Structure 1
Amino acid sequence: MLMEGSPNDRLTFGKMGYGCKHYRRRCKIRAPCCNEVYDCRHCHNEAMSMQRNIYDRHDLVRSDVKQVICSVCDTEQPVAHVCVNCGVNMGEYFCKICKFYDDDIEKRQFHCNDCGICRIGGRENFFHCRKCGSCYSISLRNNHLCVEDSMRHHCPICYEYLFDSLKDVTVMKCGHTMHSECYDELIKRDRFCCPICSKSIMDMSMAWKRIDEEIEATMMPDEYRYKKVWILCNDCNDTTEVYFHIIGQKCSHCESYNTKTIAPPILPQ
């Protein structure tokens, strides 16, 4: 039975008044995998993660949802934008592909056909990188190092799957990705290497200059002054022999100090 009032009043009734910590919406979903009712798929996944370990996740596939329950009149029905009983929009934004509802349209949701899921932030502000396999900010168009399927893996810090994460993601200089908050924490701890490939995650030229100055001001003992070691540069992958210094070894190819010793100095007999 339809609610009284104008068609517009019926559609907007209860807007932003229902939902969960993830989305404001006027419906719940029935999870086809376990037949239980949840506010959204994230609520389902979080509940399942409390019961199983991270390697045995029981995640809901959004496109598999077939039934929803209107939060206004409690009517269960096939997925649709408008409730068949009371006539309210169950979500101001609705995607029939993702079976996704959200009343908070200030997020500027849009569906990316290449990603196969809905994104937020406005379609005009993003482009889909086919090699990386995800939508990126237009500021990164022709301005990032492509890594195949770089978003289709877990954050190397918190291990949450990045592709459909609700958190902001940072694309590092090397092209690998992690949550922005995890990236910030890494920097706070003075860790400047990618946890995946060990390359520098930002422009380190000023830091390398400071190390140059520190090495110049720090004389090595006579027995080490002319000793050499073989190093591998994490930034350019070059292997070279350089003079050993306790502060660090500089790559003679790219001038990075992001190096590791692969052969120790030969000590005097």
Structure 2
Amino acid sequence: MAGEGVQENFGCTHYKRKCILITPCCDKEYTCRVCHDDNENHELNRRSVEKLKCMKCNTIQKVSRTCTNCDIEFSKYCCNICNLYDDDISKKQFHCEFCGLCRLGGRENFFHCKKCDLCLATSLKGNHKCVEKVSHDVCAICRDDLHTSRLKLHVPDCGHLIHYDCYYNLLKSNNYACPTCNESLVDMGDVWKHLDEDLANTEMPEEYKNVILDILCRDCHKTSKAKFHVVGLKCGECGSYNTCRN
């Protein structure tokens, strides 16, 4: 499928570039790995690509920054480790040697957390909960890989990564707990105040008034005792209602 998705100014809908990948897995021609993966029943390891085809003169050659025949530069950004070519440098691409792949957004705006094994925004340096190799997993909602994801990621206080769109849709469906650990994803203080009022205004039957339960808080991760109530079981440590019987 030579040059699939090629537009007038070269490239495809995913990347602007002047070369086509010769995919070793199926010996076909695709403008990029995304075009390949969208059309095949397997994924392309772009690092395994050894040959390119120039989109200007059609010369097939070893991977390089420029064409060996017509000298055209294949792209303004070129990473010969990832075999990533892109003319749109407004994305501020950079290669992270620790992640082992190219990231977007500018090297100066990120740092690599060695425990999380992930590039994070500089604003999170010393200000996030580390979860060892947290990105080497799938999104708890869509089940797509996180480490190589081309989608924006959200880092909640609990440290369990989730795609930002998945996070947003989770909140829209009135689910406010991390799907991995059940810790609250947003500040629930106002909600807990409303539940305090509901609890105070909802009288329990006499036989349940003095029933005491051992509970575990999913937010502060501490145990405490709480009076049984249909409205909810309030954590005696932090006041959260994100609790369960211990």
Mapped pair 1:169 → 2:153: yes
Q: Report the Cα offset of residue 210 of structure 1.
A: 1.9
Q: Report the Cα offset of residue 41 of structure 1.
A: 1.2
Partner of 1:83: 67
Partner of 1:256: 240
User: What pairs up with 1:118-267 in 2 under 5 angstroms?
Assistant: 118-262=102-246
Partner of 2:34: 42
TM-score (norm 1): 0.85
Gaps of 5+ in 1: 1-13, 52-57, 263-269
RMSD between aligned residues? 1.8
Q: Report the Cα offset of residue 222 of structure 1.
A: 1.9
User: What pairs up with 1:101-120 in 2 under 5 angstroms?
Assistant: 101-120=85-104
Partner of 1:22: 14
SS of 2:229 mapped into structure 1: coil
CA contact (8 A) 1:15 1:103 kept: no
User: What pairs up with 1:64-79 in 2 under 5 angstroms?
Assistant: 64-79=48-63
Q: Report the Cα offset of residue 255 of structure 1.
A: 1.8
| Count of paired positions | 241
TM-score (norm 2): 0.92
Q: Report the Cα offset of residue 232 of structure 1.
A: 2.1
* CA gap 1:125/1:16 in 2 versus in 1, 3 angstroms: farther
Using the alignment, how far apart are the partners of 1:200 and 1:232 within structure 2? 14
CA contact (8 A) 1:232 1:240 kept: yes
Gaps of 5+ in 2: 1-5
Partner of 2:3: none
